[in-house]
Structure 1
Amino acid sequence: MQVPIKRAIEKIPGGMMTVPLLLGALIAFFFPGTPKFFGSFTGALFSGGALTILAVFYVCMGASIDFKATPYIVKKGGTLLIVKVGVAMILGLIFGRYLGEAPITAGIFAGVSTLAIVAAMNDTNGGLYMALMGQYGRPRDVGAYTIMTLESGPFLTMVTLGVAGLSSFQWPALVGAILPLVIGMIIGNLDREMRAFLSKAVPVMIPFFAFALGTGLNLSQVWQAGLLGLAMGVAVVVVTGIPLFFADRLTGGNGVAGVAAASTAGNAAAVPAIVAAANPAYADAAGPATILIAACVVVTAILTPILTSWVASKVGRDVEPDAEEIASADPVIAAPAPAVGR
């Protein structure tokens, strides 16, 4: 008896991403002892599995990217980076003027601070972005995140908050984030057969990566943050998603890559504590900000794939390639990619 599992999942917006992600989050929430109980491969998948799968995902995705696409990657990634961080800086200037460093202490907005808003807005969930682009975008759009990795960490948050110089940019971490993709690009450009071989693995890894990502989400933090955390998560998607959508279209895309970047990275939850350690003026805001940002991570991890899938269904999975893309197209990467999680 055949059960149409794949077909059923694909009927859900972004199903190949959201269904495994939610499944992983629910198992981690209701059965937190699962990794320890089973151990071995199952335990490894729950504890740090997302990073391992993502590393392989980067290599395979990188293999499908032609070196001739590098100018496009710089243009696309740089534009999305500037717009995402620019929105956070504008909000930081506005809220910083009225709130200062301290959080709101009473009322329905208790816990909101300039620190929470800036940190939640300016750091994109790279794994989520790359997985979504693996489904709905071009390999070149995936590669754009190599530029967007500059968002990661507390540095840009500190710059926005006016405390630049208290945190140095850790170049080994940046290189480590880019290295798997670069290795894949080198392999794929040296051997077209390896490009074809590795490229086929990209859509297969998406549900596994999504499940592992889901096991790292803490649904209880959404409950703890309440409606305010939910509202902030929605605000991240809407406030950054709209300008990112138009920025993507201005750089030759169809807007899907911009929407896919409208999320909050998991490491953003660690930023408030680092900022507070560097500047005690933010000590009171750090605790509530961490909870709110953690809620944004969960909410955007669920909402962004759904919205990206919806936008892709309206504007199309990809735009018509321009002359430069046609000239540099490789028969392997020019072939239509499989429809995953539509």
Structure 2
Amino acid sequence: MKIKSFLEKTPGGMMLIPMLIGAIIHTFWPDILAYFGPFTNALGTGSTVIIAVWFVGIGASIKLKATPKVLKKSGVLLATKMFAAYIACMIVQRLIPQGMITEGLFIGFSALAVVAAMDMTNAGLYTALTKQYGTTEEAGASLLLMIESGPLFTMVILGTTGLASFPIQNFIGLVLPFLLGFILGNLDEDFRVFLTKLNEPMIIFLGFSLGSTINLHSIYEAGIAGIILAFSVIIFTGFFLILSDIFLAKGNGTAGIAASSIAGAAAATPMLIAQLYPELKEQAKYATVLVSTCVVITAFIVPILTSYYAKWAKTHIRR
């Protein structure tokens, strides 16, 4: 059976399919993991430990030695993604002062859901698209985009807009595992290769652990809202990313539209934020569903848009 191949071919499959399995178990047999004891139960409750180990692998995969062009391109895209997420957070804060929409077409919409959906790019998809439609330097820009992985930037945005407050030690604690991997990976190439192998396996277990907190009824309730959010993310972040790619990074916008997708790991952010700031726990349940829906939709739509845009840009925009 080609299980791994199937997961890789499915958009966000490494994260979303284990998450769906966990959600099915939690919906129909909510106590079964605990019934089989602490070791089995840890698979459904150990997201914090899993994400910490995963951060070590992410840090190890970032190479200190990179060409200035790659750093410039990746830095521009990273900063633009954060800027777009910050602006969106400010807008949502004004439109939804009560925190979250609890009924209607936009059920589950909150600043947490919007920021988590907008501040993390699917680096793998970005690399594949820019290799096909862009340049070598643009493909290499995924170098810094991987730093977006995890709740750090979401915490920064929510904190600076006044929607949540986090003790400084929580920010430091999020960075430490990443720094550990980064230092080890850059001191020893063999260690970098070794630790980088953690990335994919950890995503599978993280997905299952998150799914084990989701009830499938909430997915049904927030389905349309997730579709609306997905297209909002592509249009809103894509607009800023294309402009910054053209005017700041001196590209033709192809890398910008390719970066408007959402990483599968983004689905983990709301629940991780809720662990640090329990007041957002109810929002996190819906936000996880919304962001998961966005991951799938952007994984299908962004490649199509990038293909059409790249063909148009070749004849209308000079690098």
Q: TM-score if structure 2 supplies the norm length? A: 0.69
Q: Deviations over 1:212-260 (max 9, x none)?
A: 222232333345xx3xx33333332222332223444534645444321
For structure 2, the 5+ residue unaligned runs are 128-141, 250-254, 311-319
> What is residue 286 of structure 1 aligned with on the other side?
none
Alignment of 1:302 onto 2:293: yes
* 3-state DSSP of counterpart to 2:30: coil
Residue pair 1:9, 1:16 contacting (<8 A) in 2 also: yes
| CA distance 1:43–1:101, shift in 2 (3 Å) | closer
Residue pair 2:23, 2:214 contacting (<8 A) in 1 also: yes
> What is residue 147 of structure 2 aligned with on the other side?
143
The 5 A counterparts of 1:193-232 are 193-223=190-220, 226=221, 229-232=222-225
Alignment of 1:242 onto 2:235: yes
Residue pair 1:236, 1:296 contacting (<8 A) in 2 also: no
Q: Give distance in 2, aligned partners of 1:257 and 1:203.
A: 20
Deviation of 1:143 after TM superposition, in Å, equals 1.2
Deviation of 1:51 after TM superposition, in Å, equals 2.1
Residue pair 2:85, 2:118 contacting (<8 A) in 1 also: no
Residue pair 2:60, 2:184 contacting (<8 A) in 1 also: yes
The 5 A counterparts of 1:1-342 are 3-48=1-46, 50-68=47-65, 75-93=76-94, 95=95, 108=104, 117-124=110-117, 129=120, 132-133=122-123, 137=127, 138-145=142-149, 149-152=152-155, 154-158=158-162, 168-223=165-220, 226=221, 229-249=222-242, 250-251=244-245, 253=255, 255-260=257-262, 265-266=270-271, 274=279, 294-308=285-299, 311-312=302-303, 315=306
Q: Deviations over 1:146-204 (max 9, x none)?
A: 7x724328534536xxxxxxx65522111111211111110011111111222233223
| CA distance 1:89–1:300, shift in 2 (3 Å) | same
For structure 1, the 5+ residue unaligned runs are 160-166, 276-289, 320-342
Q: Give distance in 1, aligned partners of 2:155 and 2:293.
A: 20
| CA distance 1:312–1:198, shift in 2 (3 Å) | farther
| CA distance 1:310–1:234, shift in 2 (3 Å) | closer
* 3-state DSSP of counterpart to 1:210: helix
Q: Give distance in 2, aligned partners of 1:150 and 1:5.
A: 33
Q: Give distance in 2, aligned partners of 1:196 and 1:215.
A: 31
Deviation of 1:207 after TM superposition, in Å, equals 2.0
Deviation of 1:208 after TM superposition, in Å, equals 2.3
Counterpart code for 1:260: I
Counterpart code for 1:53: I
Q: Give distance in 2, aligned partners of 1:117 and 1:39.
A: 36
Q: Give distance in 1, aligned partners of 2:45 and 2:278.
A: 23
Q: Give distance in 1, aligned partners of 2:185 and 2:31.
A: 41
| CA distance 1:256–1:213, shift in 2 (3 Å) | farther
Q: Give distance in 2, aligned partners of 1:243 and 1:111.
A: 20
* 3-state DSSP of counterpart to 1:158: coil
> What is residue 313 of structure 2 aligned with on the other side?
none
| CA distance 1:292–1:103, shift in 2 (3 Å) | closer
Q: Give distance in 2, aligned partners of 1:83 and 1:303.
A: 16
Q: Give distance in 1, aligned partners of 2:304 and 2:19.
A: 21
Q: Give distance in 2, aligned partners of 1:221 and 1:26.
A: 12
Q: Give distance in 2, aligned partners of 1:74 and 1:171.
A: 25
| CA distance 1:125–1:54, shift in 2 (3 Å) | farther
Q: Give distance in 2, aligned partners of 1:199 and 1:272.
A: 30
Q: Give distance in 2, aligned partners of 1:273 and 1:208.
A: 23
Cα RMSD over matched residues? 3.9
> What is residue 252 of structure 2 aligned with on the other side?
none
Percent identical among aligned pairs is 27
Q: Deviations over 1:114-135 (max 9, x none)?
A: xx54343234498xx48x4367
Aligned residues: 277
Q: TM-score if structure 1 supplies the norm length? A: 0.65
Counterpart code for 1:23: I
Residue pair 1:247, 1:258 contacting (<8 A) in 2 also: no
Deviation of 1:33 after TM superposition, in Å, equals 0.8
